[in-house]
Structure 1
Amino acid sequence: MSFAKAYSGLKDGAVRALMFGVCGLAVAGCDTLSSFNPFDNSEKYKPEVVATAPAEQIYNDGLARVQKKDYEGAAKKFSSLDKQYPFSDWARKGLIMEAYANYEGGLYEESITASKRYLQMHPATPDAAYAQYLLASSYYDQIPDITRDQEKSQRALLALQELIQRYPTSEYVADAKKKIQVASDQLAGKEVEIGRFYLQKRNYSGAINRFRTVVGQYQTTRHVEEALERLAEAYMAMGIVDEAQTAAAVLGHNFPDSPWYKDAYALLTKGGVEPRENSESWISKAFRGVPQVGQRAG
């Protein structure tokens, strides 16, 4: 019941007395109170009528903002389609465009959120491959330099691999493969950096574990040559000569002109041995089926 109805039975004089009594409690506050009319409910309870624009108009407004490079404004327009026309085809189109606009505007986390939502709601639609590509690219574009944590590199790699697995015939596969190589190289570089640190500290087991990751998972990266040479160093330091010989032999077989092989060869000969591959070594097994250097794509 409104204030006006509650006091509709009071006589005019009684109502005025009530109002004056309220002001009398604090003279300093009368100016403020006098601006408030307890019988005027229009401002508080007046229903607001908001005109809903046609979905096509909202979508086109978003496209216009994209053309003007107002990506944040475009994303908001596309996002409003889901609120005003939920479960519609316009809402679906708006969601993929929201992911795109956020990506173009450098709002990567927002693009990731929209892309994931699209994949959850519309995994079998023609634009699903593009949503996966935007998701992967949003992680990829956040890859930091080698000295920092490489979580984004790992997430980018996984998302790119999923793109190829789920949508092998999509037009984004070729670019995804190139980005996979870059992300893999970044991750391998980080492992080598940490491995070097352990090697300097004579923590040979810790170093071997890092270089082993590079040899086992990132054989096609530019860091694998150094990883094999560092393995030869660590194994020689630990007195595990057979593995050191294998690391150098595999390095020489795959990268005969590499300066890292020259270093490994010099290291072994200084210790009185030469490179010799043990086919039962994990190093040898890791390189089985891996194209030789002359056969690898550039």
Structure 2
Amino acid sequence: MTLSACGLLPKKLEDSKNWSASKYYSEAKTELNEGNYAAAIKLFEGLEARYPYGRYAQQAQLEIAYAYYKDSEQAQALAAADRFIKLHPNHMNVDYAYYLKGLANFNDDIGLMGIVSEKILNQDMSERDPKASRESFENFRELVTRFPKSKYAPDAVQRMKHLVNVVALNEVQVARYYMRRGGYIAAANRAQYALKEYPQTPATEEALFIMMKAYDALGMTDLRDDAARVMKTNFPGSRFLSDSTGVSGEPWWKFW
């Protein structure tokens, strides 16, 4: 279907010579709504080139960013959104451009203004790029800070909460790696960093456990006991504690 749509595009562009700005926009929007993102981008670009001024050209620039986002072209979506923000910093829909930047870095598939679903919240955090997660968080934070009353702000806040958990767990995953390699000092330091930078996230429980086991392996009994006390106080029923007794004879990290 995509190849077919692309094949028809040259003919449509040829016919567009006498189109008005509204006709250009309507045709491009049709392609966009039908999922023909490459065709839509070409038409929006043609609209902007032929009618570079006015509301249709401005809207076309924003639609191009959205089309790139939907087509999973992250870099182009970010560039298009940044271009719109630079050209139209006071536009009534500039908050949408900031939102698109966050979505492009968030790299999810649940659609605009969607509630963060259980699928997203329970996804494998190791599959996420921590750099993109941090950038997405900053994009959404800028949106919420600049436009607190934006209709996109509530969704952005939900995604920010999720992203903090993502980055925190990524730090813990690095600590896990050091533990498996016997790098106990590095593991303890990474887990401690996660606790300080991202408190009260789901990763806190495992970070404390890693600190406890790393200090134990290093023979640092005072620090081990401190970590154990904090963990037992805050997570008395932790699965990490119950699975680390050694009753099964398996190494404590096997349940990961």
Question: TM-score normalised by the shorter chain: which range applies?
Answer: 0.7 to 0.9
Aligned to 1:33: none
CA shift for structure 1 position 188: 2.4
Structure 1, gaps ≥5 residues long: 1-49, 268-298
- 1:147·1:190 contact (CA, 8 Å) conserved in 2? no
SS of residue matched to 2:126: coil
Higher normalized contact order (CA 8 Å, seq sep 6+, divided by chain length): 2
What are the Cα deviations for residues 15-69 of structure 1, in whole angstroms up to 9, with x where unaligned?
Answer: xxxxxxxxxxxxxxxxxxxxxxxxxxxxxxxxxxx94632222112211222322
- The equivalent position to 2:91 in structure 1, one of 122, 125, 139, is 125
The yes-or-no answer on 1:257 pairing with 2:223 is no
| Inter-partner Cα distance in structure 2 for 1:186 and 1:179 | 10
Counterparts of 1:60-79 in structure 2 under 5 Å? 60-79=26-45
| Inter-partner Cα distance in structure 2 for 1:252 and 1:175 | 35
Aligned to 1:59: 25
| Inter-partner Cα distance in structure 2 for 1:101 and 1:187 | 28
Deviates more, 1:142-151 or 1:107-116: 142-151
Q: Quick one: structure 1 residues 202 and 117, their matched pair in 2 at CA, closer, same or farther if it must change by over 3 Å?
A: same
What are the Cα deviations for residues 211-267 of structure 1, in whole angstroms up to 9, with x where unaligned?
Answer: 123212222432210001111222233344443333233333333332235578x79
The yes-or-no answer on 1:137 pairing with 2:117 is no
Aligned to 1:170: 150
CA shift for structure 1 position 194: 1.7
| Inter-partner Cα distance in structure 2 for 1:158 and 1:238 | 37
Equivalent residue letter for 1:159: N
TM-score by length of 1: 0.64
CA shift for structure 1 position 170: 1.4
Structure 2, gaps ≥5 residues long: 1-15, 109-122, 247-256
Aligned to 1:107: 73
The yes-or-no answer on 1:91 pairing with 2:71 is no
CA shift for structure 1 position 88: 2.9
Aligned to 1:233: 213
- 1:248·1:261 contact (CA, 8 Å) conserved in 2? no
The yes-or-no answer on 1:209 pairing with 2:175 is no
| Inter-partner Cα distance in structure 1 for 2:92 and 2:125 | 35
The yes-or-no answer on 1:189 pairing with 2:169 is yes
Q: Quick one: structure 1 residues 93 and 144, their matched pair in 2 at CA, closer, same or farther if it must change by over 3 Å?
A: farther
- The equivalent position to 2:226 in structure 1, one of 246, 260, 267, is 246
Aligned to 1:223: 203
| Inter-partner Cα distance in structure 2 for 1:168 and 1:250 | 37
Aligned to 1:198: 178
| Inter-partner Cα distance in structure 1 for 2:166 and 2:193 | 13
| Inter-partner Cα distance in structure 2 for 1:119 and 1:144 | 33
Larger Rg: 1
Aligned to 2:135: 155
| Inter-partner Cα distance in structure 2 for 1:245 and 1:168 | 44
| Inter-partner Cα distance in structure 1 for 2:52 and 2:231 | 58
CA shift for structure 1 position 147: 5.4
CA shift for structure 1 position 123: 2.3
Identity of aligned residues (%): 28
The yes-or-no answer on 1:146 pairing with 2:112 is no
Equivalent pairs counted in the alignment come to 217
Equivalent residue letter for 2:228: A
CA shift for structure 1 position 124: 2.4
Equivalent residue letter for 1:210: R
TM-score by length of 2: 0.73
Q: Quick one: structure 1 residues 213 and 105, their matched pair in 2 at CA, closer, same or farther if it must change by over 3 Å?
A: same
Q: Quick one: structure 1 residues 167 and 148, their matched pair in 2 at CA, closer, same or farther if it must change by over 3 Å?
A: closer
